[in-house]
Amino acid sequence: MILKGQQRLIIVFIVYRITLGCCKDPNDEINADSCHPPSFSFNGTKTERGEARIRNEFSHVQEVKFSGSIGPLGEKRPCKIKCVEGQWVGPLCADQDDNGRFQPLFKNCKLEYINKHLLVTFKNITIHHAGIAFPHGLQLQVRCKELGLYKLLGTSNPRCHNGEWSTRLPSCVPTTLLTNFTEDAPPTILIKIPSGSASIEPAGDLAVFPGSTVHFECLYPRVLGNPDWTWTTPLGQYLTGWAIAPEEKSWKYRLSIYYAKAQDSGTFTCATPKGITNSITVHVVSVTCQPISVSGMHITVRVEGTRLGHKAIFQCPAGYVISGSPNLTCQASGKWSAAVPKCEPVKCPPLDILGALDEPHLQVEEHNNSYGGRAIFSCAWGYKLIGAPGVECEITGNWSRKLPKCVAIQCPPPVLPVNGHLIQSESPGMDGFRYAVGSLVQFACKGAHLLEGEASIICTETGIWSHPPPFCKPRCPYMGEPENGLAAPTKFAYEPGDELQVTCNPGFELKLDQERLKCLPDGTWDTYLPNCTSYDQI
């Protein structure tokens, strides 16, 4: 079964849900009208199992009922497909608004893109984002945000019909004021309400409260000729002409409605000498809105009144932000242009949203993202904080500073002693040429040098080594005793300049006169250790 073009229809097709509708008699020979069995899905997966059996068992099914999940909100409705002349037809879904009759499903329309100059309204709710799907039959209301400054090109009421908008979304053409008064642009119309009130309605018309005065100023360079005002109100007579004030008289061609009455409802059009026009449609209606009641404790409101065109301007106290529209206008529908806004306490973005908690070594000691609250940080062992350890949540909803960072504490490479070297013990935290906290290094001296100081040092949390590196001092080694004699003094090592005196046991003597040995500055003896030999051998 192929449901062409019904993308939004999700069929919950669980086998036991299928009810057999009016079936032909299974013994009926004539089955030229039977349809292929519909393909079955179980819990969303199409099943091929038992295809042949299903084909047989269901070859006389003429109607399949199922529960459809329809529209962006997944509204559940009974649906069915029918076998008509060997083809499945449908789905048809029951419509509560139509006494439960099964009707073909219509597709939604999607609003792909909203030009920034357009204000799109649906059931008097402003649509801020494209991508929303609207049900079949729905009508949008579209106007240019700045009425009179842009001219709407196209229809202001596109309707959704089975997946297609009746017309493309209109566009907004800039007028003379925005084009430096080029002659090919439609004239700008400025709207002035010196007394009374008016509201710009979602479809771009001007709803005026009776008794108001309205000036329309058509902007056109007087040097290029006179524009022309026309109107569709059958009986109306309106004063038109160039403005009188010196700074306005060369570019503002005015039409005035004094003490507006119902009969002044109609379209007012300004045409340039080249015949390019811009219009404003006026409805004079006596409408009042419900008084505004603010329930929240925090919000304050200044209401001009409850007549059409009156505004209510909301404010929140320090430490709160307004959520919703801050200004409401009483509209021709008798409704305020939006719901009463709320005041929400200022909150700074939670730290996890800022990614602070992804930083593995940064620890949050305290976290209060309300206005006036603070967050305090510390670092894991072996890491140090760069930046301030605390941030405060400011009235703007921003944290007062950038969050701090944790960087590994490292010790510089240790100074190598002259004639010494490092025993390259594995230093776990060695990072490039620096050493992490806890790294241990060991020194050794070249032969004939003696290590003086600590042979191993450790990188501490302060980023400093536990001890200064040792020295390697040249030392002459202890050479043992000569044969048949003594060497004095006896030491483990001898400093350069030290002397060693060899004395022979009685009856022995040195071959040559070499009873003194001297330790040289490089840690070697000036000569080898002599042996004492017996007199008889000499």
Ligand X SMILES: *[C@@H]1O[C@H](CO)[C@@H](O)[C@H](O)[C@H]1NC(C)=O
Binding site for ligand X (CB under 6 A): 43, 123-124, 179-180, 201, 313, 326-327, 331-333, 335, 368, 370, 372-373, 396, 398, 483, 528, 530-531
Nearer to ligand X, 396 or 501 (CB): 396
Phi and psi at residue 537, to the nearest 5° = -85, -15
Nearer to ligand X, 323 or 370 (CB): 370
d(CA 327, CA 19): 55
Helix and strand element counts for the chain (H, E): 1, 50
Shortest distance (Å) from residue 422 CB to ligand X: 36
Shortest distance (Å) from residue 179 CB to ligand X: 5
- Alpha helix (H) residue ranges in 422-521: none
Q: Tell me whether the omega of the peptide bond preceding residue 489 falls within 30 degrees of 0, making it cis.
A: yes
Shortest distance (Å) from residue 169 CB to ligand X: 19
**Cα-to-chain-centroid distance, residue 125:** 25
Nearer to ligand X, 92 or 203 (CB): 203
Q: Provide the pairing of β-strand 277-284 with 206-208.
A: parallel
Task: Give the amino acid at 325.
Answer: S
Nearer to ligand X, 260 or 330 (CB): 330
Nearer to ligand X, 124 or 155 (CB): 124
422, 425, 431, 432 alpha-carbon torsion, rounded to 10°: 40
Residues across the chain: 538
Nearer to ligand X, 402 or 446 (CB): 402
d(CA 102, CA 96): 9
Per-residue buried b or exposed e for 238-261, using 16+ beta carbons within 10 Å of the residue's own CB: bebebbeeeeeeebbbbbbbeebe
Q: Give the count of alpha carbons within 13 A of 249, CB side only.
A: 3
Shortest distance (Å) from residue 398 CB to ligand X: 4
Handedness of CA 48, 52, 54, 59 (dihedral sign): positive
Nearer to ligand X, 39 or 126 (CB): 126
Shortest distance (Å) from residue 24 CB to ligand X: 32
d(CA 132, CA 484): 110
Nearer to ligand X, 327 or 456 (CB): 327
Shortest distance (Å) from residue 35 CB to ligand X: 27
Shortest distance (Å) from residue 348 CB to ligand X: 9
Shortest distance (Å) from residue 379 CB to ligand X: 23
Cα–Cα distances in angstroms (integers) from residue 497 to residues 189, 518, 522, 524, in the given order: 109, 6, 10, 10
Phi and psi at residue 240, to the nearest 5° = -130, 160
Nearer to ligand X, 397 or 496 (CB): 397
d(CA 171, CA 145): 11
What is the DSSP code (8-state) at residue 224?
G
Shortest distance (Å) from residue 180 CB to ligand X: 4
d(CA 272, CA 258): 24
Q: Which of 522, 452, 519 is nearest to 491 (CA)?
A: 519
Shortest distance (Å) from residue 254 CB to ligand X: 24
Shortest distance (Å) from residue 313 CB to ligand X: 5
Nearer to ligand X, 25 or 184 (CB): 184
Nearer to ligand X, 136 or 367 (CB): 367
Cβ atoms of residues 156 and 170 within 8 Å: yes
